[in-house]
């Protein structure tokens, strides 16, 4: 089994990451998948996508006793149908990540730094955020912005969010790990303040928030 790490965070949350090194068959043997999800998996053409979904399942088997039933809100945010624990999920070709908390809403996102994030500048950043981009570490800076905004989007569980106008990340310099301050602006103008953590490892960036 390829549990990369599982870490308890301040405030009662747990972040866990699975490295996807197994074949599809090996992952199927490691996890218990409800029949409806197995039917969905059979409709996915990409082997890598199926492995990512199964790695999430294998990770959930590690974290919870008994079979876990996943549901999804209208915007795609997952929830546990048979538990009150709050959950957020993200995955890439190499890693699957799960963030849980007994009570508070959570959001997590993981991205591969092999990806070119140049499109993020146009579609997800405000003029202020673009102005503060690092020239030396531009792709990393963009990746952290994107991962953080995705984590906030998942935590909010809303559809039709304008990442550039509604999610503001305060100025920061990209590092191997750090904290971010952010504001989510509701359509009615109400502002919510968030603190996020991010970490860079094995060619990936992961950002998360609790509460």
Residues in the chain, overall count: 211
Query: Distance between CA 153 and CA 91 in Å, rounded?
Result: 16
CA distances from 69 to 24, 86, 123, 200 (A): 20, 13, 34, 31
What's the whole-number mean pLDDT along residues 24-31? Answer: 92
Confidence at 159, pLDDT banded by 50, 70, 90: confident
The band of 71, judged by pLDDT with boundaries at 50, 70 and 90, is confident
Phi, psi (degrees; rounded to nearest 5) at 160: 55, 55
Task: Note the helical H segments in the chain.
Answer: 24-30, 35-42, 47-63, 118-124, 127-131, 138-156, 163-166
pLDDT at 1 over 70: no
Confidence tier at 37 by pLDDT (50, 70, 90): confident
Which pTM does this prediction carry? 0.94
Least confident stretch, 58-67, 103-112, 136-145: 58-67
Domains of the chain with bracketed CATH: 3-104 (3.90.470.20), 111-210 (3.90.470.20)
- What SS3 class is residue 127? helix
Confidence of residue 31 (pLDDT cuts 50, 70, 90): confident
Q: What is the mean pLDDT of residues 46-70?
A: 90
């Amino acid at each position: 089994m390829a549990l990369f790490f599982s870490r308890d965070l301040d405030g009662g949350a747990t972040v866990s990451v699975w490295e996807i090194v197994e074949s599809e068959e090996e992952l199927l043997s490691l996890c218990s998948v409800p029949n409806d999800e197995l039917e969905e998996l059979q409709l996915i053409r990409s082997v890598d996508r199926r492995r990512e979904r199964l790695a999430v399942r294998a990770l959930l088997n590690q974290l919870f006793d008994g079979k876990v039933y996943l549901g999804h809100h209208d915007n795609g945010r997952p929830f546990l149908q048979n538990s009150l624990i709050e959950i957020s999920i993200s995955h890439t070709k190499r890693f699957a990540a799960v963030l849980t908390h007994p009570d508070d809403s959570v959001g997590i996102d993981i991205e591969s730094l092999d990806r070119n994030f140049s499109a993020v500048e146009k579609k997800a950043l405000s003029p202020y955020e673009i102005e503060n981009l690092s020239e030396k570490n531009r792709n990393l800076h963009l990746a952290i912005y994107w991962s953080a905004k995705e984590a906030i989007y998942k935590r909010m569980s809303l559809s039709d969010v304008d990442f550039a106008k509604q999610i503001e990340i305060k100025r920061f310099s990209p590092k191997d790990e750090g904290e971010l301050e952010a504001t989510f602006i509701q359509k009615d103008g109400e502002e919510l303040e968030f603190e996020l953590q991010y970490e860079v490892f094995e060619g990936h960036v992961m950002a998360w928030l609790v509460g």
